Amino acid sequence: MLARFLKDEGVEYIYGYPGGAALHIYDALFRQDDVKHILVRHEQAATHMADGYARASGKPGVVLVTSGPGATNAVTGIATAYMDSIPMVVLCGQVASHLIGEDAFQETDIVGVTRPIVKHSFSIRHPSDIPTVLKKAFYIASSGRPGPVVVDIPKDMTAPTERYEYVYPRKVKLRSYNPVSRGHTGQIRKAVELIMSARRPVIFAGGGVITGRASEALTALAHRLNLPVITSLMGLGAFPQNDPQSLGWPGMHGSYESNMAMHNSDLVLGVGVRFDDRVTNNVTRFCPDARIVHIDVDPSSISKTVQADVPIVGAADNVLNEMLNQIGQRTEAQEPLDEWWETINAWRDERRGKLYEPAAAGEPLKPQQVVEAVHRVTHGDAYVVTDVGQHQMFAAQYYKFNQPNRWISSSGLGTMGFGLPAAMGIKLNYPDEHVVLFTGEGSFQMMMQELSTCKQFGIPVKIVNLNNASLGMVRQWQDLNYKSRHAHSYMESLPDFEKLIEAYGFKAITVRTAEELEPALEEAFRSRDELVFLDIHVDPREHVYPMQVPQGAMCDMLLSKTERT
Amino acid sequence: MRHIISMLLENEPGALSRVIGLFSQRNFNIETLNVAPTDDPTLSRLTVTTNGDERIIEQITKHLNRLIDVVKLVDLTEGAHIERELMLVKVKAQGSARDEVKRTADIFRAQIVDVTPSVYTVQITGDANKMDAFLQAVTPLGVLEVARTGVSGIARGDKVLSI
Ligand SMILES: Cc1ncc(C[n+]2csc(CCOP(=O)(O)OP(=O)(O)O)c2C)c(N)n1
Ligand SMILES: [Mg+2]
């Protein structure tokens, strides 16, 4: 019943790992060919694979794990998806109903464990409920503000001896769940009023624009009114970065011009963003002159951290199109923005060419230049996946995204180990595309067992290991806040990555100098169906800049080791 | 400010823990909590009293509404409403205190519902202030045990919370 439902729901791949409580389900999967199961090497990887696929496709990723340790291993991946509002359905085996509550072998109350990190969860109580419960799970996971849904399935619910009539439920009805789509027309009118009369407006677009497939509407609105566009990290690609109106992303390590522009703006049009603390810095000093218009499908996101002057609950696409509509009918002119653009361009000029110093001959490579080089060889249209740390920030700063769904990174939870499996989930579903993972030797070692999965299923991702032989981001904080006392932030006894990768039967190239970089990249990216691991040794002393000063306003930044705003 | 938030909740296992978990997870405070079935067997009614400024209360109601098990919700303190709580108190009742407890109970229109040679069990209903006042009055006499139901409430007039 479960396997048939997955097929009818259009699920092509599920990611998982078997165990006692899930064996009936595995047997059902074995006896069909429509839904393909990818066997990972750790359940956390299954959730990240599903997550990567969901971020790239907008569709829910599906995970299957067994009870107890199988389910608890999935917890980090569920939390990762929850923090970034990623649609996911996690099917967990459970001990048989009559054993629940008895501390039976491999029993964990996974619904209880995951309660604060799921959008919703279900326990199957009768086998005949499976299709409707699963339909609800998929619907809840992927509608409104998406998120992970856990379905707990006691073993006796999937017993093959019992037979029930199966009908695929085309529709679901939930009396207490009706995500809004259309925004309030009056509120939208107020918002348009504010935008048209603003002298220093900015758009601040987030992941909601990507999940809500509203990039086109956003771009149209930005062009129509000549507005500067800042996207959050989650929103990278929601507005093309090669557009002159793009200012990049703001926040702790955001671009100088975006932090300056947002801080000095008189109107922030937030679309599908949650104004999180990594963006706002000290909220009490956030955008002192700005009125805030905030569009979000989730009412609880609005005025959570930053008070909105004009809240609009609705789907981004719908609301933005309604704005365009209303603007089209207006006769009054918009405030001219020439002066504002002059100011912004002056900020841009201030930092142009000063972002980092490329390595001189004989010096270790700078991670930034590696990202720029990868951007060049992939023509800026790869799927770019990252782990967490300095390399993640460098990838976000120096790879430029012109399309949505191409930047794949754990933003809210910042999960080291996310990268490799997420990249695999994407490559599997988009085999003709380049999928590049930027990782660090720290993060990579958290999920490197998945190379074995790559081998089994032939998943040729490109891995760029920005190897600084240290937990770089931690080290940076220790340099800045702890007088360079590097407590456990460096990695002694790193493996010989070349040998390690070769042990799995893949190609590895070690790069130490600028001269070696270009040829190695050429070789690595020549084909799309070979896994290549680039172990690129980069300068361990490099810091990520700009960096906002703790407790300051958005515009308070360190710009390099010696400069400060 | 103190708010009384009342909601209709799917009568499903786990629904209650989602509501309570939300409060602890987001650092919202619960003063009292009361849950019981309604006339509709698929729904329970849950009432919580909580404290917070307007912003916090707005966040609480938004997050509660986001829970899929919460079908409908009302902040009773936004309008005219009736608030009731029931309390059972065991008070020492020996010697002169015996009369004193009885008198105090009469003043508060409370009832003595169980009697032993040394203890009166008093039942009292009313709003939270009345409960507190009664407790204050009998504390010097020796309170042995207190059981309160937590606040329940309903809007005045024609307004109803139903689906
Ligand atoms: C699972 C997990 N544990 C710890 C952290 C804290 N943390 C953030 S960045 C970082 C260092 C990452 O090192 P590496 O992957 O080598 O990247 P680098 O910063 O050196 O580029 C650590 C330990 C985290 N984000 N995730
Ligand atoms: Mg590192």
Nearest by CB: A115 against B18, B62, B68: B18
Are residues A111 and B66, on separate chains, in Cβ contact within 8 Å?
no
Does residue B160 lie in a domain region?
no
What are the chain A neighbours of B18 within 8 Å (beta carbons)?
Answer: 115
Question: Which residues of A are the active-site residues?
Answer: 43, 105-106, 155, 473
The minimum CA-CA distance between B72 and chain A, rounded to whole Å, is 7
pLDDT at residue A299, as a whole number: 93
Mutation choice for ligand 1 from A371, A473, A547, CB with most ligand atoms inside 8 A: A473
Q: Collapse the DSSP code of A78 into the 3-class scheme (helix H, G, I; strand E, B; otherwise coil) and give the result.
A: helix
Please give the average per-residue pLDDT across A479-496, as a whole number: 92
B95/B43 same-domain check: no
Are residues A176 and B72, on separate chains, in Cβ contact within 8 Å?
yes
Does residue B138 lie in a domain region?
yes
Are residues B72 and A299, on separate chains, in Cβ contact within 8 Å?
no
CATH number at residue B112: 3.30.70.1150
What are the chain A neighbours of B25 within 8 Å (beta carbons)?
Answer: 116
Using alpha carbons, select from A501, A503, A379, A492 the residue that is nearest to residue A439.
A501
B86/B63 same-domain check: no
What one-character-per-residue DSSP string does A494-508 give? Answer: ---HHHHHHHTT-EE
Please give the average per-residue pLDDT across A531-545, as a whole number: 97
Using alpha carbons, select from A168, A148, A159 the residue that is nearest to residue A124.
A159
CATH number at residue B45: 3.30.70.260
pLDDT at residue A333, as a whole number: 86
- Angle (nearest 5°) at CA B112 between B109 and B113: 125
Report the nearest-CA residue for atom 20 of ligand 1.
A472
> Domain ends where: B79, B111, B143?
B79
Which residue in chain B is spatially nearest to A123 when comparing CA positions?
B13
Does residue B23 lie in a domain region?
yes
Ligand nearest the Cα atom of residue A473: 1
**What sign results for the dihedral spanned by CA atoms A427, A430, A435, A437?**
negative
Q: How confident is the model at residue A239 (pLDDT cuts 50, 70, 90)?
A: very high
pLDDT at residue A150, as a whole number: 98
Does residue B146 lie in a domain region?
yes
**What sign results for the dihedral spanned by CA atoms B143, B149, B151, B154?**
negative
At A75-126, the pLDDT tens digits run 999 999 999 999 999 999 999 999 998 999 999 999 999 999 999 999 999 9
Q: What is the mean pLDDT of chain B?
A: 95
Count of CB contacts below 8 A, A vs B? 39
Nearest by CB: B68 against A112, A140, A302: A140
CA distance linking residue A441 with residue A452, whole number of Å: 18
Query: Taking the CA of residue A455 as centre, how many other CA atoms within 13 Å lie in the half-sphere pointing to its CB?
Result: 13
What are the chain B neighbours of A304 within 8 Å (beta carbons)?
Answer: 59
At A310-369, the pLDDT tens digits run 999 999 999 999 999 999 988 888 899 999 999 999 999 999 888 998 888 888 999 999
Q: Which atom of ligand 1 is nearest to the CA of A367?
A: 21
Judge whether B109 and B67 are in contact, CB under 8 Å.
no
Using alpha carbons, select from A508, A373, A389, A372 the residue that is nearest to residue A440.
A389
Ligand 1: centre distance to CA A383 (Å): 21
Say yes or no: A460 contacts chain B, CB-CB below 8 A. Answer: no
CA distance linking residue A427 with residue A462, whole number of Å: 10
Does residue B161 lie in a domain region?
no
Q: Which atom of ligand 1 is nearest to the CA of A392?
A: 21
The minimum CA-CA distance between A299 and chain B, rounded to whole Å, is 6
Using alpha carbons, select from A476, A460, A480, A479 the residue that is nearest to residue A468.
A476
Say yes or no: A80 contacts chain B, CB-CB below 8 A. Answer: no
The total number of structural domains that make up chain B = 2
Ligand 1: centre distance to CA A446 (Å): 10
Residue A163 pLDDT more than 90? no
Q: How confident is the model at residue A238 (pLDDT cuts 50, 70, 90)?
A: very high
pLDDT at residue A330, as a whole number: 85
CA distance linking residue A499 with residue A289, whole number of Å: 57
Does residue B162 lie in a domain region?
no
A536 Rama class: left (phi>0) / alpha (psi -120 to 50) / beta: beta
At B112-123, the pLDDT tens digits run 999 999 999 999
B6/B75 same-domain check: yes
Instruction: Please give the share of chain A, as a percent, with pLDDT higher than 90.
Output: 93
Nearest by CB: B63 against A120, A177, A300: A300
B122/B134 same-domain check: yes
The minimum CA-CA distance between A57 and chain B, rounded to whole Å, is 25
Interface test with B, best of A121, A176, A283, A302 (most B CBs within 10 A): A176
> Domain ends where: B30, B62, B79?
B79
B74/B99 same-domain check: no
Residue A287 pLDDT more than 90? yes
B86/B147 same-domain check: yes
What are the chain A neighbours of B59 within 8 Å (beta carbons)?
Answer: 300, 303-304
B41/B98 same-domain check: no
The minimum CA-CA distance between A178 and chain B, rounded to whole Å, is 9
Ligand nearest the Cα atom of residue A416: 1
Residue A492 pLDDT more than 90? no
B47/B95 same-domain check: no
Ligand 1 site: residues with CB under 6 angstroms? A 387-391, 414-417, 440-443, 466, 468, 470-474
Are residues B163 and A175, on separate chains, in Cβ contact within 8 Å?
yes
Alpha-carbon separation of residue B130 from A119, A466, B6, B78, B107 (angstroms): 40, 67, 21, 21, 11
Does residue B159 lie in a domain region?
no
The minimum CA-CA distance between A64 and chain B, rounded to whole Å, is 22
Are residues B163 and A304, on separate chains, in Cβ contact within 8 Å?
no
> Domain ends where: B79, B106, B135?
B79
At A373-413, the pLDDT tens digits run 999 999 999 999 999 999 999 999 999 999 999 999 999 99
At A187-226, the pLDDT tens digits run 999 999 999 999 999 999 999 999 999 999 999 999 999 9
pLDDT at residue A490, as a whole number: 87
Q: Give the tokens for residue A565.
A: 């705003």
Q: Give the tokens for residue A206.
A: 């987030």
B62/B89 same-domain check: no
Contact residues of B toward A, CB < 8 A: 10, 13-14, 17-18, 21, 25, 55, 58-59, 62-63, 65-66, 68-72, 163
What are the chain A neighbours of B65 within 8 Å (beta carbons)?
Answer: 299-300
Q: What is the mean pLDDT of chain A?
A: 95
Nearest by CB: A176 against B13, B25, B69: B69
Q: How confident is the model at residue A162 (pLDDT cuts 50, 70, 90)?
A: confident
B123/B69 same-domain check: no
Which range marks the domain in which residue B16 is found? Answer: 2-79
3-state secondary structure A290-338: CEEEEEECCHHHCCCCCCCCEEEECCHHHHHHHHHHHHHHCCCCCCCCH
Which residue in chain A is spatially nearest to B60 when comparing CA positions?
A300
pLDDT at residue B163, as a whole number: 85
Which residue in chain B is spatially nearest to A304 when comparing CA positions?
B59
B138/B97 same-domain check: yes
What are the chain A neighbours of B68 within 8 Å (beta carbons)?
Answer: 119-120, 140, 174, 176-177
Does residue B68 lie in a domain region?
yes
B10/B32 same-domain check: yes
